[in-house]
Amino acid sequence: MIHNIIRNLIYFFVFVLIQVLFLNHIYFLRMATPFLYIYFLLKLPVGMSRGYVLIFSFLTGLVIDSFANTPGMHTAACTLAGFLRDPLIRFFMGKDLPEGIYPSFRTFGYGGFLRYTLSFVVIHHMALFLIESFSLYEPLYLLLRILGSLCMTTLLICIVEAFNISPQKSGEKQ
């Protein structure tokens, strides 16, 4: 239990810091910004109560918002994605997953994790960019931005996940 909390806290700080210090300044071809911080939400243990997942998503969004000066935008998008996390896992992986495992390439399989990640990122990015477009609406540009960011975020998550696989094997005592 304590191991879980510490692990989640470390994930939170590391990915939020990476996001606000480096990734927020990336703007590939003036279109795409990766939002790696949702990796933290992706990796919350399966079977965590939906209330907690919601609160974590909300807080993460709030922290990112306060660094990026965009009150509410990331918060709303993260809350929505966090809310749909459980149904997504159940949809892709079925109901009979052991409680407490972390979503990863190993536990979900490559295809399963990729589908789960992709749909989570799609929900988050759609919400985020649609909210952002309240202040400036250009459909084509919006679509390009969503697609660009989607590719970058998913790619980054897969890279991080690929490097993350070995410490997990030794870290999980089950």
Partner 1 sequence: MRKLLDFLVRKRHWFLFILLEIISFVLIYQNSAYQRSVWISSANVVTGHVASLSASITSYLNLREINKTLTERNGELEMQLLTLQNQMDKIYADSLSFAGFAPDSTEQHAFRFTMAKVVNNSVTHLSNYITIDKGTKDGITPDMGVVSDQGVVGIVSHVSRNFSVILPLLNPKYRLSCKVLGSNYFGSLRWNGRDARFAQLEELARHVEFQKGDTIVTSGYSSIFPPGIIVGTITDFKKQHDDNFYSLDVALATHFDTLTNVRILMNSKQDEQLRLEEEAMGNDT
The residues binding partner 1 (CB under 8 A) are 20-21, 24-27, 30, 33, 49-51, 54-55, 58, 61-62, 65-73, 75-76, 79-80, 83, 131-136, 138, 141
DSSP 93: H
Residue type, 144: L
Query: Cβ of residue 152: shortest distance to partner 1, in angstroms?
Result: 12
Query: Cβ of residue 120: shortest distance to partner 1, in angstroms?
Result: 16
Query: Cβ of residue 88: shortest distance to partner 1, in angstroms?
Result: 14
The structure tokens listed for 122 are: 């799609």
- 32 forms beta bridges with 28
Of 69 and 170, the one with the shorter C-beta distance to partner 1 is 69
Of 38 and 113, the one with the shorter C-beta distance to partner 1 is 38
Of 73 and 157, the one with the shorter C-beta distance to partner 1 is 73
Axis-axis angle for helices 2-21, 50-68 (nearest 10): 30
DSSP string, 27-70: -BTTTB---TTHHHHHTSPTT--HHHHHHHHHHHHHHHHHHHT-
Of 79 and 153, the one with the shorter C-beta distance to partner 1 is 79
Query: Cβ of residue 45: shortest distance to partner 1, in angstroms?
Result: 16
Of 43 and 74, the one with the shorter C-beta distance to partner 1 is 74
Please tell me the distance from the alpha carbon of residue 56 to that of residue 79, in angstroms, as a whole number.
8
CA 45 remoteness from chain centre = 13
Query: Cβ of residue 69: shortest distance to partner 1, in angstroms?
Result: 4
